[in-house]
Structure 1
Amino acid sequence: MRGAGRTVAVLVTATALAAAAGPAQAGHRGGRLDQPADGFASPRTVLKTGTPQSAGLDPAPLERAWEAVTGFERAPDGGHPLYPGAVLTYGHEGRVVLTRASGHARLHADGAGTLLPEGERIATRTDTIYDLASISKLFTSVVVLQQVERGRVDLDAPVARYVPEFAANGKAGITIRQLLTHTSGFPAFLPFWSSYPDPASRRQAALTAKTVNVPGSTYLYSDLNLITLGEVVHRVSGRPLDRLVAEDVTGPLGMHDTGYNPDPALRARIAATEFQSAPDRGLVWGEVHDENAWAFGGVAGHAGVFSTSRDLSVLAQTMINGGTYRGERILSKASVQQMITNENTEFPGDDHGLGFELDQRWYMGGLASPRTAGHTGYTGTSLVIDFSSRSFVILLTNRVHPSRSWGSVNPARVAAAQGLAEALALKSRQGRDAWFSGTADARTATLTLPVPASGPAELRFDQLVDTESTDLLSLEVSTDEGVSWAPLPYRLDDQVVEGGHAVSGRRTWDRARAALPAGPSLVRWTCTQDANLSGRGIYLDGIRVTQGRRTLLDAERHPGLLTAENWTRARR
């Protein structure tokens, strides 16, 4: 963290006080970051293609994001590329404004990365089918909520009510809700594929596994939670998980390229994954990459679903619509709301609804907010749905081809999401532009205003803050021409900000007021950004110094009064 040792008056975080954030503004307009939408889109919204401009978006950040995504296909000096190919899709306000494919779905001849001959390589297409890995958990979660709606499952009932053998090893009290929110106490992973001889014994081992934490005491993301839920829905419905997903989710939504164990005839359209030696599977291509899901026969609650960018776009829009698409309702609005409402308030930073991860800046970038939901997959996939702007970002890669050890795909995930965040317009509160801190990493920006000699006065300004918790904003005052600085407390509506956290991630402007000391002084805003994950940035506008009804300084009319270092004037 930069700025250690400095007096910091205000710390601004994207996730702090999310529970205190007020409701989104009703006056939502397409393409506007600063006018977040309430609720869901019209259930009649059906995806159509369009340009970024037609949806009110700036195309330039989308193009920069695409350049970044494709750039990760090239190996840095002495290193490996992050993935051989990718598909990126952006949707906003019912329009798919960009879908592009790059690189290769199959490129390597072995686990060391030897390239195939040109004639044997397979180029990525926009309809390439990808192994979604843990995004499969969302399909299981949807099916669970469907069973809840049908009265077959109670979220707060013990799992053992539906799967009696689950009570083994002291698990009688673990609930369905705890499985969905990863607070059951299960370990993150167990190697069922290598420890048991057949699918039946592996499934039994998963159901009777021991916990490593007291249920409800800890958030620990675990495949075992969703493996168990896959068995719960099978028991209560009498249909296996793959049939439930096909008949109750993908079938009604027309997601024809989505499902488990894809037809071998589709192999040429499927992105290859890893060359595995343990287990000795060779090139995994057209079969699920996850070893446990493979050992369960390709169908499991935690992994196994294959899909395309087009099909995932339909799923994302269905969620944005509140559970319906083209007249087919797969979930009630109340159930979708449960999926995207934070259940893990006791575990800050691990926000999770009944299925979706929430407000995770490490892959959602500048789109992260309490109303942004998503999931990632180990094979190199990610889905981000921003309900406040009615947008989605889908990034599909086969980053484990040829080896899982070649690096993390998170930089590409962040770049993809950041592109859409920056494409959304953000209008100044007053006038045509506002002071903008920028989104560059590892830098400090200062904005300084001299206040002439006078009696006690008041500083007024508007601010919109969207940063991660370690990107700091301070407001300070100096009465000795900048030799020393002291925190300057200020009020945001009914919240006093003094060495604490200001609400961030709401995407709305706040009016700020601060009492200034008598006599000449300097006022300084300092934004200190760490080495990564900058969010959408900080905006300041309408900066004035008043004394009663008298305006002493108006930096809105005279921006030259301010001395800016790394702050710029922005109109979007």
Structure 2
Amino acid sequence: MDDLDGVAGPVPGFGVAGKARVTVRQLLDHTGGLPFAMVPPPLGPDRIGDLEAKTAAICAMPAVYAPGTRSICTSGVGFGLLGQILVNTDPHKRGFAQIAKEELFAPLGRENTGFGAPLDAPGRVPVSFTPQNTKPSTPMMLRMLETAMDENAVVPSGNACATIDDVSRFTELFRGRGTCNGYRAISAVLFDCARQNHTGDFLHEAFGFEVEARGLDPVPARFTLLGGYVRGTGTCSTRPDSPPRPRPSPPSAAPRRASWSTPSAI
């Protein structure tokens, strides 16, 4: 696939209600017109691990803004669609967790990493919230994490479990510009492209309520295509109280295209 390909092709039923032009890249950089939600309505938190049901709900919902014009963190719904694309296009008809295990974790030597773990697994860390970060939604979040995120929950944006040693090995993938343990997950050129700021001077609108409530400066998005942020200059999502500075320039009008056939050949 190509990261500028439309999502509607590999996900039948998606390209309706203002979503026909959404691309794979826009799911990666959180500009695809989808809402900020862990679970798409009308599903409840108990369905967070049902990838098929979540995909159907996302396909039915309208875009909440014109794709490519704003940036709202959509890991819950956008990354869920990316996981569904992997499943829909896999020639071996594997599930998401199996694809991740066989095409990424195992080749990288991460034997103790995977998506999903039994609720009584000894390695699970109890969920807790500090008093400062306890909100009306906290009880719901606790129930979801402690009852729905089990070994059968398919959550491409989370629910992954690993040992600290495996996490350390994964950081070597970034230090190696896409190569670790003798395995090339992505090319160095593609890695360098993916790690840049792909949202220009868009604001991180998922922080809107926090910004208003705390009287903070707007937080720039600065999303990469690797699932995280880059610092750049100015305020940062990890330091929302930093003094404002000039924002980065918008992304190029002609972004570099990235194509791949199989994960091992990226």
Taking structure 1 as the reference length, what is the TM-score of the superposition?
0.34
The AA in structure 1 aligned to 2:87 is: H
Out of 73, 85, 89, the residue aligned to residue 232 of structure 1 is 85
Residue 242 (structure 1) aligned with residue 97 (structure 2): yes
| Secondary structure of 1:253's aligned partner | coil
Give the match for residue 193 of structure 1.
Answer: 44
Which structure: larger Rg? 1
Alignment of 1:367-386 (within 5 A): none
Alignment of 1:424-503 (within 5 A): 468-470=242-244
In structure 2, do the counterparts of structure 1 residues 180 and 251 end up closer, same or farther at CA, with 3 Å as the change threshold? same
Distance 1:210 1:242 in 2: 28
Out of 169, 175, 187, the residue aligned to residue 332 of structure 1 is 187
Distance 2:122 2:59 in 1: 36
| Secondary structure of 1:335's aligned partner | helix
Out of 354, 357, 366, the residue aligned to residue 229 of structure 2 is 357
Q: Is the 8 A contact 1:207 1:228 kept in 2?
A: no
Shift in Å, 1:337: 1.4
In structure 2, do the counterparts of structure 1 residues 166 and 268 end up closer, same or farther at CA, with 3 Å as the change threshold? same
Q: Is the 8 A contact 2:172 2:180 kept in 1?
A: yes
Shift in Å, 1:361: 3.6
Shift in Å, 1:196: 7.0
What do residues 221-278 of structure 1 show as CA deviations (whole Å, max 9, x unaligned)? Answer: 11211111110111111322111110111111121221122256x7222211259864
Shift in Å, 1:502: 11
What do residues 2-22 of structure 1 show as CA deviations (whole Å, max 9, x unaligned)? Answer: xxxxxxxxxxxxxxxxxxxxx
What do residues 400-421 of structure 1 show as CA deviations (whole Å, max 9, x unaligned)? Answer: xxxxxxxxxx9xxxxxxxxxxx
Shift in Å, 1:362: 4.1
Q: Is the 8 A contact 1:159 1:176 kept in 2?
A: yes
Distance 1:283 1:182 in 2: 23
Shift in Å, 1:216: 0.8
Distance 1:201 1:353 in 2: 28
| Secondary structure of 2:126's aligned partner | coil
Out of 122, 127, 140, the residue aligned to residue 268 of structure 1 is 122
In structure 2, do the counterparts of structure 1 residues 308 and 158 end up closer, same or farther at CA, with 3 Å as the change threshold? same
How many correspondences in the alignment? 213
Distance 1:282 1:175 in 2: 30
Distance 2:125 2:48 in 1: 29
Out of 159, 162, 173, the residue aligned to residue 7 of structure 2 is 159
User: Unaligned stretches of 5+ in structure 1?
Assistant: 1-152, 289-293, 366-409, 411-440, 442-467, 472-500, 504-572
In structure 2, do the counterparts of structure 1 residues 332 and 196 end up closer, same or farther at CA, with 3 Å as the change threshold? closer
Shift in Å, 1:282: 9.0
In structure 2, do the counterparts of structure 1 residues 253 and 282 end up closer, same or farther at CA, with 3 Å as the change threshold? closer
By percentage of residues, which structure has more helix? 2
Distance 1:170 1:218 in 2: 14
Out of 56, 79, 84, the residue aligned to residue 204 of structure 1 is 56
Q: Is the 8 A contact 1:183 1:217 kept in 2?
A: yes
Distance 2:247 2:58 in 1: 44
User: Unaligned stretches of 5+ in structure 2?
Assistant: 130-137, 204-219, 249-266
Q: Is the 8 A contact 2:127 2:142 kept in 1?
A: no
The AA in structure 1 aligned to 2:172 is: Q
What do residues 11-67 of structure 1 show as CA deviations (whole Å, max 9, x unaligned)? Answer: xxxxxxxxxxxxxxxxxxxxxxxxxxxxxxxxxxxxxxxxxxxxxxxxxxxxxxxxx
Q: Is the 8 A contact 1:340 1:353 kept in 2?
A: yes
Q: Is the 8 A contact 1:250 1:258 kept in 2?
A: yes
| Secondary structure of 2:106's aligned partner | helix
Shift in Å, 1:315: 1.0
In structure 2, do the counterparts of structure 1 residues 249 and 280 end up closer, same or farther at CA, with 3 Å as the change threshold? closer
Give the match for residue 65 of structure 2.
Answer: 213
Give the match for residue 134 of structure 2.
Answer: none
The AA in structure 2 aligned to 1:331 is: I
Give the match for residue 111 of structure 2.
Answer: 256
Q: Is the 8 A contact 2:19 2:33 kept in 1?
A: no
| Secondary structure of 1:242's aligned partner | helix
Distance 1:170 1:262 in 2: 37
Distance 2:167 2:24 in 1: 26
What do residues 418-458 of structure 1 show as CA deviations (whole Å, max 9, x unaligned)? Answer: xxxxxxxxxxxxxxxxxxxxxxx9xxxxxxxxxxxxxxxxx
Q: Is the 8 A contact 2:112 2:166 kept in 1?
A: yes
Q: Is the 8 A contact 2:113 2:162 kept in 1?
A: yes
The AA in structure 2 aligned to 1:326 is: N
In structure 2, do the counterparts of structure 1 residues 271 and 236 end up closer, same or farther at CA, with 3 Å as the change threshold? same
Q: Is the 8 A contact 1:178 1:216 kept in 2?
A: yes
Distance 2:154 2:140 in 1: 20
The AA in structure 2 aligned to 1:203 is: T
Give the match for residue 172 of structure 1.
Answer: 20
In structure 2, do the counterparts of structure 1 residues 196 and 327 end up closer, same or farther at CA, with 3 Å as the change threshold? closer
Determine which structure has greater relative contact order: mean sequence separation of CA pairs < 8 Å that are 6+ residues apart, divided by chain length: 1
